[in-house]
């Protein structure tokens, strides 16, 4: 539990207790709130394994190019194998949902998630030479 959750939980308990004195809550609604409250996304700055990235499937990130934010959505994770030496190889596939978005050149880009996380990732365009790239790949080979 972090400081914000502690303060917000305390304030909610005080306000809820005063406003709902005598009211009861169902077991299902209490369980749902606890499940959402305890759900946390992995920190991608410290954990870049495929399992951590799986929690972000469908999430939108932003990469900034020449002062313009390019929205990217994590669409797929392709596994290439985990061997006995604990080598994990996988590819992240990002797609740009906006047709007006500036294409990203191949290279290292800082991806920003709405939670405030930022991570540097090398992105390759996933299209042919003449086409405007709307999909990008990031390849990982990790010893875990």
Return the number of other C-beta atoms located less than 10 Å from residue 123's C-beta: 22
- Of the candidates 144, 51, 62, the residue with the CA atom closest to the CA atom of residue 109: 62
Domains and CATH numbers, the chain: 3-38 (no CATH), 50-143 (2.40.30)
Assess whether pLDDT exceeds 60 at residue 18: no
pLDDT tens-place string over residues 104-128: 889 999 999 998 899 999 999 887 5
The residue whose two tokens read 């669409």 is 75
With residue 76 as reference, give the H or E element that holds it. Answer: strand 68-82
- The mean pLDDT value of the chain amounts to 75
In this predicted model, which residue has the larger pLDDT, 36 or 85? 85
Percent of the chain residues topping a pLDDT of 70: 62
57 in Cβ contact with 101 (< 8 Å): no
- What is the predicted pLDDT for the residue at 66? 82
Q: Is the pLDDT of residue 31 over 90?
A: no
**CA geometry: angle 94, 61, 106, nearest 5 deg:** 50
Segment 70-85, tens digit of pLDDT: 899 999 999 887 776 7
Position 142 pLDDT exceeds 50: yes
What's residue 1's pLDDT?
Answer: 56
Q: Which residues of 25-36 are buried (b: 16+ CB within 10 A; e: fewer)?
A: eeeeeeeeeeee
Both tokens of residue 54? Answer: 């799986």
CB 94 within 8 Å of CB 137 = yes
Q: Both tokens of residue 37?
A: 């409250």
Mean pLDDT of 11-24: 45
């Amino acid at each position: 539990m972090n400081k914000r959750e502690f303060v917000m939980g305390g304030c909610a308990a005080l306000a809820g207790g005063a406003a709902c004195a005598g009211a009861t809550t169902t077991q299902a609604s209490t369980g749902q709130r606890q499940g959402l409250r305890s759900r946390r996304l992995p920190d991608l700055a410290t954990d870049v394994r495929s399992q951590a990235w799986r929690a972000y499937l469908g999430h939108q990130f932003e990469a900034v190019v020449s002062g313009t934010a390019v929205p990217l959505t994590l669409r797929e994770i392709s596994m290439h194998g985990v061997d006995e030496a604990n080598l994990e190889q996988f590819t992240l596939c990002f797609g740009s949902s906006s047709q007006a978005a500036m294409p990203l050149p191949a290279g290292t880009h800082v991806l920003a998630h709405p939670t405030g996380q930022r991570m540097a990732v090398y992105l390759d365009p996933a299209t042919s030479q003449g086409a405007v790239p709307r999909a990008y790949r990031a390849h990982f080979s990790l010893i875990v």
